[in-house]
Amino acid sequence: MIEKKIAVLSGDGIGPEVTAQALKVLKTIEKKFGYRFSYHSADVGAIAIDHHGVPLPDSTLQICLDSDAVLFGSIGHPKYDNDPSAKVRPEQGLLALRKGLGLYANIRPVKIYPSLIGHAPLRPELLKDVDMVIYRELTGGIYFGEKGRTENDAYDHCTYSRVEVERIAKLAFQDAQRRRKKLTLVDKANVLETSRLWRAVVQDMAKNYADVTLDMMFVDNAAMQIIQYPAQFDVVLTENMFGDIISDEASVLSGSMGLLPSASIGAKTALFEPIHGSYPQAAGKNIANPMAAILSGALLLDSFQLSEAADLIRIAVNEAIKVGVVTVDLNKDKNYGCAEVGDWIVQFMEQ
């Protein structure tokens, strides 16, 4: 009997609604395949600030460390976004969690659903054959460097070490070997010293992956190429902040950001989350797209090596899209609620 402990951090905004759908789906998998999962909920983000005064209580981190995987919703609240003087912010909870779990690699696959191709902002012919995965470094760079502020000055240091580059580059090279054997390093090596370190390290490592073609691209050019010729990308490797930006950009190629899951892996428990944020305007309205959260559940099952179960989830989501059981982001006229999409996917899997 396969038994696993899953920490559930549904967070803020639409996080709880979409995570509830992912949980329904995971519970269906348990029944269907005879696995036993236990779920351990904990607060993170704005809700944790409300309940405990801090965005990541020690108890939450401990629950994650004691679990086999973390299912994460989203965090953020508008009351902090427009207040630059707020000392405690929900996002600090996510950053502390990434650091605390050593989640140095954020993996964001960008996939095109043929039935949604008319929905994406690009012309269909540009989207044909788009299938890329972004490896974003997640515990270093400008996000975590020393910061400082006086009334009229501020700084955020960006630092990287060889080891930090090597460990994520290794994962990206290995994935490229399993895929179409192309790795694109995205950086700003014409300006930044940290980018020049990334280039040197990745070029050194490329010798050990002779079957992988290494391409290097400045981030401004990459931002343009993702729109102009997205099918050229296979595995994209990049540092923390560039990865934050280009993964949002690449996500809309699929037709909706509400479709894309991500995995964050590293030294300890891995974490799975939709790439969309907390979307506070939609919170509590049962209109959010639960598919990214549900597909994050599939990635979580992959990490347990339960790929048959993970594939069943992906098939069910595909089917829902195909028959048009989708939320308003994907169909303005004939749409379903967040919970109804979850219910449909559960029913499909049960058959």
Number of residues that bind ligand IPM (CB under 6 A): 4
CA atoms within a 13 Å half-sphere pointing along the CA-CB vector of 16: 14
Which of Mg ion, ligand IPM, none does 215 bind, CB closer than 5 to 8 A by kind?
A: none
Min dist CB 12 to ligand IPM, Å, is 10
Task: Please report, as residue ranges, which positions from 209 to 248 form the binding site for Mg ion (by CB under 5 A).
Answer: 244
Q: Can residue 44 be called a binding residue for ligand IPM (CB under 6 A)?
A: no
**Structure tokens, 102:** 């050593």
Residue 268 annotated among the catalytic residues of the structure:
no
Q: Which does 105 bind (CB under 5 to 8 A by kind): ligand IPM, Mg ion, none?
A: none
Contact track, ligand IPM, 84-103, x by CB under 6 A: -------x--x---------
Catalytic residue among 66, 81, 220, 311: 220
The upper half-sphere exposure of residue 174, i.e. CA atoms within 13 Å in the direction of its Cβ, equals: 7
Encoded one letter per residue, x for contact with Mg ion by CB under 5 A and - for no contact, window 140-159 reads --------------------
104, 188, 234, 279: which is the annotated catalytic residue? 188
Q: Would you tell me how many other CB atoms lie within 10 Å of the CB of residue 66? A: 11
Q: Which does 16 bind (CB under 5 to 8 A by kind): ligand IPM, Mg ion, none?
A: none
Query: Which position among 143, 160, 279, 336 bears the catalytic label?
Result: 143
Least Å distance, CB 79 to ligand IPM, is 15
Told to judge if 135 belongs to the known catalytic residues of this protein, a careful annotator would answer no
Catalytic residue among 215, 248, 268, 343: 248
Residue of closest CB approach to ligand IPM: 91
| 249 binds ligand IPM per the rule CB under 6 A | no
Tracing tokens 């972004």 back to the chain, one arrives at 134
Q: Which of residues 172-191 bind ligand IPM (CB under 6 A)?
A: none
* Residue 76 vs 266, nearer CB to ligand IPM: 76
The whole-angstrom separation of Cα 75 and Cα 91 is: 7
User: Toward ligand IPM, which CB reaches closer, 24 or 98?
Assistant: 98
Residue 244 bears catalytic tag:
yes
CB of residue 248 to ligand IPM, shortest distance in Å: 7
220 counts as catalytic: yes
Check if 188 is active-site.
yes
Backbone phi, then psi, for 55, in 5-degree steps? -75, -20
Nearer to Mg ion by Cβ, of 68 and 244: the residue is 244
Q: Which is nearer to Mg ion, 243 or 342 (CB)?
A: 243
- The site for Mg ion, by CB under 5 A, has a size of 1
What is the rounded CA–CA span in Å between residue 277 and residue 11? 10
* Residue 50: half-sphere exposure toward Cβ, Cα within 13 Å: 12
Q: Which residues bind ligand IPM (CB under 6 A)?
A: 76, 91, 94, 244
Positions marked catalytic: 143, 188, 220, 244, 248
